[in-house]
Amino acid sequence: QVQLVESGGGLVQAGGSLRLSCAASGNIFRINPMGWYRQAPGKQRDLVATINSGGTTNYADPVRGRFTISRDNAKNTVYLQMNSLKPDDTAVYYCNAGAVTTWTGTYFDVWGQGTLVTVSS
């Protein structure tokens, strides 16, 4: 069994910063890739950023230059540093693991429960 648990969401003023964390638990060998997605009210879930085990990153255009994704492979944890936040960044942010290899098998497309980020103007 694999679980992803996010933390770090909250309310922040426009221009402020937040750091999200997502920790994976279970008997994990490898997770690749890890990423963050977000879903605003009434909208579809969109990619924010991904990172593979080698550290290669990919960002959606709306966040490039403001958000930074990183990971600690030893801790099976991925982070999202969000700077210069805008009201349009308001959404539930979800952590995703594309493929999680464990002692008992490989789990695909694992999601966390989400953490709410609200940016006030």
pLDDT at 1: 85
Whether the pLDDT of residue 43 is over 90: the answer is: yes
| Nearest in space to 30 (alpha carbons), one of 107, 94, 111 | 107
d(CA 93, CA 107): 21
Whether the pLDDT of residue 16 is over 90: the answer is: yes
* Band of residue 92 on the pLDDT scale cut at 50, 70, 90: very high
Whether 92 and 36 have beta carbons less than 8 Å apart is answered as: no
Q: Does residue 62 have a cis peptide bond before it, meaning omega lies within 30 degrees of 0? A: no
Sequence-ordered list of residues with C-beta below 8 angstroms from that of 63, at least 6 positions apart, any chain: 48, 49, 82, 89
Mean pLDDT rounded to a whole number for the chain: 96
Element (H, E) at 106: strand 105-111
